[in-house]
Amino acid sequence: MLFFTLLLEVIWILTANGGQHWTYEALVSSNKRTSPHGQDHWPTSYPECGSNAQSPINIQTDSVTFDPDLLPLQPHGYEQPGTEPLNLHNNGHTVQLSLPSTLYLEGLPRKYVAAQLHLHWGQKGTPWGSEHLINGKATAAELHIVHYDSESYESLSEAAQRPQGLAVLGILIEVGETKNPAYEHILSHLHEIKYKDQKTSMPPFNVRGLLPPLLAQYFRYNGSLTTPPCYQSVLWTVFHRRAQISTEQVSSGEVRQWSYNLKPFPTPQSKGHSSLSPTLLLLSWKSFGRHCSPRRRSPLSHWYRTTEPPSLSISGWSLLLSSKVTVQGLEKGTGNWGIQWQELGCP
């Protein structure tokens, strides 16, 4: 079975700091020197990449407590995104699909309208690619659907620099036997944008099909863009349930061609799978990735909502927690489980 490593990026705003170049490279393979534009050096050119609330994170479900204030997430317009063609773009880092502002989210502090989505995969032979982890486990890929606070800001670029200016849906993707027709709408056009800066148009389709079937189960936290300029402006919703695409879809000629063209790809080492420290609870996947020194740690809260009793078992690789917060239990009369966890991070 072929798997592809996701390059999870928020790359719609690359003009900060003069549009400096950045890559995922950790080492230059020819002489083993650190790449001057790789992840280790992002904070030099983009200081916020070494800042407090850096995403992504490892979500651990055994360190959570109940929060009754979370609302069900309600996407509007996703099933019928208009009649105008959608623009698909190869920007050299990922495939990005522009979305009309008729798509928006409710169930958040304000109204957030859609701007774009992006989906990345990389070289074959690696069985994981998602940046967010759940209980230390990654999935084959991850999709981001990017929205901005239209009540407070005029544009995506303005909102991207403000706290909670953006709301991003993170969809973990696993590979199975069932073909996903929603993802096929995108995958079937990849042969038209093989090279950087190529663009194509595609018919509108049911974007809701890209999401997992059950939206009531999600994790919520305040974080950042995962790539330069790393603005600390993202209200993250990472769904607990996965979307699925088939082995046939990820092993198609279009996907293989993309995996060969978009290089270099991050290896598990360059994405921050580093040795774990019991003094560090909130860990960025960046290879430079600590939020702050242990002296500056303070509690950070994150939330999870589900309509089913949660499984709190841990399996696989996980952070070493020095303290845990227990589950409070079922919210009577609603059938909703609400869980909140606290980790130590920067103030």
Cα separation, 149 vs 114, in Å, equals 9
Set 21, 37, 41, 93: catalytic member? 93
Q: E strands along 70-229, which residues?
A: 74-76, 86-90, 95-98, 104-106, 112-119, 133-134, 141-149, 166-176, 199-202, 218-223
Q: Kind of pairing, strands 218-223 and 86-90? A: unpaired
Cα separation, 290 vs 345, in Å, equals 9
User: Is 41 a residue of the active site?
Assistant: no
Single-letter code of the amino acid located at 60: Q
User: Sign (positive/negative) of CA torsion 306, 308, 312, 318?
Assistant: negative
Closest CA to 167 of 150, 153, 147: 147
Q: What are the beta bridge partners of residue 301?
A: 342
**Active site positions, annotated:** 93
